[in-house]
Structure 1
Amino acid sequence: MVPLKRRKVVSSGAGSPGGPGDTGSTGSTGGPGGGEERTRFPQVVLFLLERKMGSSRRAFLSQLGRKKGFQVEELLSERVTHVICENNCGDEVRTWLRLQGGGRTSAQLLDVSWFTDSMRAGRPVDILDGHKLQEQQIDDAEGGVFSVPSYACLRRTTLENHNPVLTDALSLLAENAELSDEDGRGVAFRRAAAVLKALPEPVTGAAQLRGLPCLGGHSLRVITDILENGASREVEFTKQSERFKALKVLTGIFGVGAKTAERWIRDGIHNLHQLQESGQALNRAQQAGLDHYDDLQQPVTRAEADAIGEVVEEAVVSVLPGAQITLIGGFRRGKLTGHDVDFLITHPEEGREVGLMPKVVTWLESQGFLLYQKTTRNSYLEAKAGPARPPSNMDRFERCFSIFKLADAEKRGRKRAGNAPEDTCCPAAHSRVADEGPEPVKPAGGPGRWRAVRVDLVVSPVSQFAFALLGWTGSKLFERELRRWAGRERAMSLSSHALYDSKQSRYLRATSEEEIFSHLGLEYIPPSERNA
């Protein structure tokens, strides 16, 4: 098990937030607003464990507890009567307490559900079995039928998911956490969902999950609730939450993140109509996202991705003969639909790709394919972005974020057969795609029909192509776990640009994904089995 972070333990007599002789010890100590609220329950002293909960959520819950009249300690001390945890199992917390070198271990170890129930009741509620952090009692004859590695990058995860109801529930809670700026909780739920996706058969009872990694107490409760009752009360409550529904709608607008959506919600904006009527100033990306919202919410099919690929290929080859274009993202992993389409572009001669993107964008715009585009320059310099600073999760390649104007399948098919007149929006030169895919979604302003599709173009030097291909193939969790494995197990730093070995103080070169896996000491996993 990964060593847990040590936290200093203070005794109640010295070093507590109030200091020796502090007469305010019955108030809320050590946090923002400490002492502002009257303590109503002096016999209850809470400590919220930050591990896996995250600092922002811990601060919010601490403030909430104090407002309700509870004592909430910022540091673990002998005064603490209730340790509140989230996404931790009992063994993890007991190990953490033992590492504190004298921390009180007789305090109640409780899940955050006891805290939220108490906040709702306005008093400390009775502690039920479901509130306690305790190990499940599992019959050895029944449990532990599955075994998977703890790192997702060590598992082969195909698109065949035997537990979609469970994984969808955990993914929804992960999304809600991420939209609430609680990334730690989001990752915990996503790791739990990824474990279930890798199982070779459906889960029929919680006993089967004994010994599996990444399944914390919170995730196990959700799973158990679904297995026993057919649905999770927490998941259903989240689905019906007005805040969650508003965040989903607003962050579904291209160019709108969770923080912007939160600000709009505080201003009373919960849907597209209210946003349009509000007079909010939108940037170009947000305005384009609002204009084409319905189209961008619809899944993109593989046939549509291929059609766009033919357009991109002609654009690239027209301005740089010999350049290579690769479809990446979920479609490379074998998915049949996606939210957008991503292409990686390179040239076999190092340096020839420099300045390519503006030429490609100019060509696409001249042919009427782009409804919106924003291009970023390549800002990666190996000498500056190496071991001195850890690589960002976002790479720094030259990129174009765009909204494509794609003719419908029927129109593409007619033009392929030469039965339609030239259309300035969709040149006949790009009619090679087969007449397949769903019916078009809406009429355009002129003859024929089209839909808007999100398309990202990425240009990589050939020396970094293998790393870019690996990083942009996904899945997101698979890539996160690869970086975690590199750092924790191999003392290396992995990004979509390079792999740096801290022990050897040098970069490790690679011309293929297989070489990168080899450098990391991992068995190669093909794209179709990276669907964590």
Structure 2
Amino acid sequence: MALKFPVIFLLPANLESEELHELEEQIHTLTYDINEAEIVLGKIARKQRALFELRKLKLATEDVTSPEDEADSPRRKRTRTRGPSDAVSDTASDDTGSDDEAPSNPDTVKVVKLAWFTDSLKAGEVLPLGKYIVYEGRKGPLTPIKPPPTPQQRADDIRKRAMGDSGSSPSSQRSSHGPGRRRGEPSHRPAKPPLLRQSTTEHDMDVHLPPIPAYLHTTYSCQRPTPIHPPNEPFIEQLSKIRTARTLMGDKIGIRAYSSAIATLSAYPYTLSSSQEVARLPGCGAKIALLFQEFKETSELQEAKEDESDPKLAVLKLFYEIWGVAETTARDFYNKGWRDMDDIIEYGWDTLTRVQQIGVKYYDEFQLKIPRAEVEAIAGTILSHANKIHPGFQMVIVGGYRRGKLESGDVDVVLGHPDESATHAFVERIVVSLEQSSFITHTLTLSTKNSERGQLPVSWKGNEKKAGSGFDTLDKALVVWQDPTWTTGEAKNPNLHRRVDIIISPWKTAGCAVLGWSSGTTFQRDLRRYCKKERSLKFDSSGIRSRADGSWVDFEKGPDGRPAPDMLTAERRVFEGLGLEWRAPEERCTG
């Protein structure tokens, strides 16, 4: 039986990505909106750090402990409570008092050590909060720090006081905004939070809302059919814009929250009609419901609109779209004072990696999408060269192309051969062949890790992290491609430069390679989570290992012990071996 915890917001500070995600799965009362939280859970121990984290999240609070209580033990402290007459009274509490119980006052928030939650799970009961509380505060408006007056402001103030001394009525100096506030000063009265509005019609609609499909009750998007064009695509596109902004700003909690909501909404098979319909969906809740209410009324989201017009986000997005530049590097570029490509070239060219330099050089061309026909032509050329080197190679075009996209950002292909000796060190041979034919102009990355270990599955023990394990350890080449033939009379090749990834997989794990490289980002993430939580396995594109003893798990052989006849059959066998219903690539569009 699940423990009845209060509403909890989880601070990402000091938590590794994997640890953060595991805790999110364990907290059934988790909220991604700190304003809804009764408890803020964090891996922190100091009051100052708690206050810093709250202010960073734009949650202002008023300390409810008195100065004398700072010296008291956590087991006994005084809290200030508002009575009917708004008088402040001191109420003592002891070990059995309300301070040690889960808070029920929505106007207060307690920052609590992570150990409270983990200790409660071990004890099988929700433990008293007393010794775990780091800070307790009453929610309130964020009071801005008033800057010191400028010389001009000081002069104006002197003139106003002089006018008052000369006989001006004191009341004339007062503003209708209230006592003690000068005309023009902003009021810092807290804004009322938006509420879910429900009309009589919507209330009647709730009774007739379509049932939530059974597959949406799971937290694993790898168990859901998720089409490329879901019924609520316009709303999802708005949420995706907000998620992109959160990514650029490094908001891990926001990224996770919006990704989960987007994955759920993308798998929901009905057109949404009300905010109440959204609120009941797993991974959505009140925050997404409010956003849908806004979208329904205005056909857009103000936050997404503001993000698109934010000059800082525009610069970060420009940098982020450079090949070889992640969001952290984009922020680093911005913090150095760079604001466009010219700044990068003029002030930072020598500090860029070779891959980033190529990303800047071909930035405009890499932004142009690749039509399906061109993807197929590039893939056909790669397969033709592979079979000239060693006949019998098979290939699957993966990535967005396989999920049904009409245009792709790059071309991803997986090559495999039933004869395992054929794939050993083959990536170097295929790159040389394509370079000699002038199809590859630049090789960004050439990895031969799989061949270096004899194409054996990666050894793995428990939760140990091995340097360089990454997403997979398959042999691969990430290259820049340009068709060397053209019919126009131009002296220079006018064909666009394209990004192409060539992945080489041994036949025994080709199904894992095709599965991993074909699926949407959230689908891949949830597949790894599913394997860990439900099957005690570790999955990546280079194979499956047991978390019990680190041994390789082979799901790709048939009942007769023979290898799969082709890579697509091998992929289906991986689904079956993992106990998952088969999902076609077109149903893995989780984003």
Residues 381-424 of structure 1: CA distance to partner in whole angstroms, max 9, x if unpaired? Answer: 5363354536855111111111111368xx4xxxxxxxx5xxxx
Which residue of the other structure, out of 312, 320, 339, is the alignment partner of 1:251? 320
The match for 1:483 is 528
The match for 1:102 is 128
The answer to whether residue 513 in structure 2 is matched with residue 513 in structure 1 is no
The match for 1:531 is 589
For structure 1, which segment, 513-522 or 243-252, has the greater mean C-alpha deviation from structure 2 after superposition? 513-522
Letter of the 2:515 partner, please give it. Answer: L
Which residue of the other structure, out of 117, 126, 130, is the alignment partner of 2:194? 130
Gaps of 5+ in 2: 9-37, 44-48, 66-73, 80-102, 112-120, 147-186, 197-201, 557-569
The match for 1:385 is 460
What is the SS of the residue equivalent to 2:421? coil
Tell me how far apart the structure 2 counterparts of residues 59 and 501 of structure 1 sit (CA, whole Å): 43
Correspondence 1:166-245 to 2 at 5 A: 166-245=235-314
The match for 2:217 is 149
Tell me how far apart the structure 1 counterparts of residues 503 and 554 of structure 2 sit (CA, whole Å): 20
1:166/1:472 CA distance change after superposition, 3 Å = same
Which residue of the other structure, out of 453, 466, 469, is the alignment partner of 2:511? 466
The match for 1:344 is 414
Letter of the 2:589 partner, please give it. Answer: N
- Measure how far apart 1:458 and its partner are: 0.8
The answer to whether residue 146 in structure 2 is matched with residue 118 in structure 1 is no
The match for 1:401 is 478
- Measure how far apart 1:357 and its partner are: 1.0
Residues 52-77 of structure 1: CA distance to partner in whole angstroms, max 9, x if unpaired? Answer: xxxxx98964464899896599xx99
The answer to whether residue 404 in structure 2 is matched with residue 334 in structure 1 is yes
1:235/1:50 CA distance change after superposition, 3 Å = farther
- Measure how far apart 1:459 and its partner are: 0.9
1:466/1:181 CA distance change after superposition, 3 Å = same
The answer to whether residue 406 in structure 2 is matched with residue 310 in structure 1 is no
Tell me how far apart the structure 2 counterparts of residues 109 and 491 of structure 1 sit (CA, whole Å): 43
Residues 198-236 of structure 1: CA distance to partner in whole angstroms, max 9, x if unpaired? Answer: 222321311222431111443333222212332212111
Aligned residues: 436
The match for 1:12 is none
What is the SS of the residue equivalent to 1:285? helix
The match for 1:83 is 109
For the 8 Å contact 2:61–2:137, the answer to whether it is kept is no
What is the SS of the residue equivalent to 1:446? coil
1:318/1:474 CA distance change after superposition, 3 Å = same
Tell me how far apart the structure 2 counterparts of residues 60 and 153 of structure 1 sit (CA, whole Å): 37
For the 8 Å contact 1:163–1:202, the answer to whether it is kept is yes
Gaps of 5+ in 1: 9-45, 52-56, 86-94, 412-419, 421-442
- Measure how far apart 1:254 and its partner are: 0.9
What is the SS of the residue equivalent to 2:231? coil
What is the SS of the residue equivalent to 2:420? coil
Q: CA RMSD in A?
A: 4.0
- Measure how far apart 1:331 and its partner are: 0.8
What is the SS of the residue equivalent to 2:292? helix
The match for 2:425 is 355
Tell me how far apart the structure 1 counterparts of residues 519 and 496 of structure 2 sit (CA, whole Å): 26
The match for 1:495 is 540
1:142/1:524 CA distance change after superposition, 3 Å = same
The match for 2:501 is 456
Residues 257-316 of structure 1: CA distance to partner in whole angstroms, max 9, x if unpaired? Answer: 122211111121122122223243222111111111111001111111011112211222
Letter of the 1:102 partner, please give it. Answer: P
Letter of the 1:398 partner, please give it. Answer: D
Residues 94-113 of structure 1: CA distance to partner in whole angstroms, max 9, x if unpaired? Answer: x9xx96522389x8997xxx
Residues 416-471 of structure 1: CA distance to partner in whole angstroms, max 9, x if unpaired? Answer: xxxx5xxxxxxxxxxxxxxxxxxxxxx99725520011101111111111111110
For the 8 Å contact 1:387–1:500, the answer to whether it is kept is no
Structure number with greater Rg is 2
Residues 102-148 of structure 1: CA distance to partner in whole angstroms, max 9, x if unpaired? Answer: 2389x8997xxx7xx6266989853734389xxxx966415464432
For the 8 Å contact 1:357–1:400, the answer to whether it is kept is yes
Tell me how far apart the structure 1 counterparts of residues 459 and 7 of structure 2 sit (CA, whole Å): 34
Tell me how far apart the structure 2 counterparts of residues 319 and 7 of structure 1 sit (CA, whole Å): 61
The answer to whether residue 388 in structure 2 is matched with residue 324 in structure 1 is no
1:72/1:235 CA distance change after superposition, 3 Å = farther
What is the SS of the residue equivalent to 2:496? strand
The match for 2:354 is 284
- Measure how far apart 1:318 and its partner are: 2.3
1:497/1:69 CA distance change after superposition, 3 Å = same
For structure 1, which segment, 467-476 or 180-189, has the greater mean C-alpha deviation from structure 2 after superposition? 180-189
Q: Percent identity?
A: 23
Tell me how far apart the structure 2 counterparts of residues 109 and 444 of structure 1 sit (CA, whole Å): 74
Tell me how far apart the structure 1 counterparts of residues 189 and 129 of structure 2 sit (CA, whole Å): 25
